[in-house]
Amino acid sequence: MKRPTSPKPASASADLRELAECVEKFSGKTIVLLGDFVADEFRYGDISRVSREAPVLILKHRETQVVPGGGANAANNLASLGAKVLPITVVGNDDAGDALIQYFRQKGMSTSGILRAKGRATPTKTRFLAGWAHTVAQQVLRFDYEPQASLPEAIRKKIQQKVSTNLRRADALAISDYGFGVVTPELVRQVTGKLRKSLPIALDARYQLHSYAKSGITCATPNEAELEAEHHTTIGSNAEELARAGRATLASMKLQALLVTRGRHGAALFEAGDRLTHIPVHGSDQAVDVTGAGDTVLAAYIVALACGASPLEAAQIANIAGGLVVMKRGTATVSRQELLDAIRGEISGTAS
């Protein structure tokens, strides 16, 4: 059988118009987001001088920002894209947990699925950024706070109950596993085993992607490094190795589709029937900041599937969203209007 590895055109006018029509439907969809919420803290400082105590910069604190990261960033992207989001997660009884809950309350998002766990730290990634008065600040240090205690069984049962209840009125389920213990393959199997309707279920797992095999997942959105880790290989520019690893994951996990993001190389979509489509990077291949780009891809991909898009159409939409968000600094989101403008801009470009 001949394997179609050449790129399918992502810029044909008819296809792009269908993508725009799909994005316009985003606001009518309800997505359950199950995942590890992370607080992304950015501490900005102006360079004062070099310390006399050690060869390090002394920064004069200017401001501190806390924004949703990890699964919280995926939820934030879903909201920015216009979908109704039902987030389900666990945060600690700490300032970082308070900040995340307050953030989503201010956005009008339901927070009833955000549980609090005593004695558990909210995962927090603190980035210190330094710069002169009129220059762009650069990250000089990152400090991570991670929960040490495992989740109590009572909270695990509450998570399962809330996911099952919310899925009854949802159009899709997005799973964001950053390895902090909120999501487990067993939990997903328990939830999907009780589903009474067929739903798109997309997974973004930082570690042990294959542990979710036979868990009811319909699609996954790993980046190339995560796929390499699963197969103990290096892909780089080796198209044959990419094809081998992608097809192996698709088959072993029994997925309908596998979308592998590849940075400046764009993305690769694996589908049943031995179909492989290479999708060129959208926009510039010189990213400004890739922080949280995978969260944006997950969000755009799952909401497009919820609207009835094919895996290829959803992948093209997610690829465009990813290309937009990496041109922004920090943990960022893409709005539905930005996505529409980008697609319509390509339509105009092909028509001229």
Active site residues: 295
Under DSSP, is residue 311 helix (H, G, I), strand (E, B) or coil?
A: helix
* Phi-psi category of residue 83: left, alpha or beta, with phi > 0 → left and psi -120 to 50 → alpha: beta
Question: Could you say which DSSP state residue 222 is in?
Answer: -
Which sign does the torsion angle of CA 279, 251, 78, 120 carry?
Answer: negative
Q: From CA 271, how far away is CA 257, in angstroms rounded?
A: 5
Give residue 139's identity as a one-letter amino acid code. Q
Q: From CA 297, how far away is CA 299, in angstroms rounded?
A: 5
Burial group, residue 142, by CB count within 10 angstroms (0-12, 13-18, 19+): exposed
Q: How many CB atoms lie within 10 A of CB 309?
A: 23
DSSP H helices, 49-94, are 71-80
Question: Could you say which DSSP state residue 34 is in?
Answer: E
What are 142's two structure tokens?
A: 């990152």
What are 130's two structure tokens?
A: 């330094």
Helix (H) or strand (E) holding 118: none
Q: 30 pairs with which residues across the strands?
A: 84
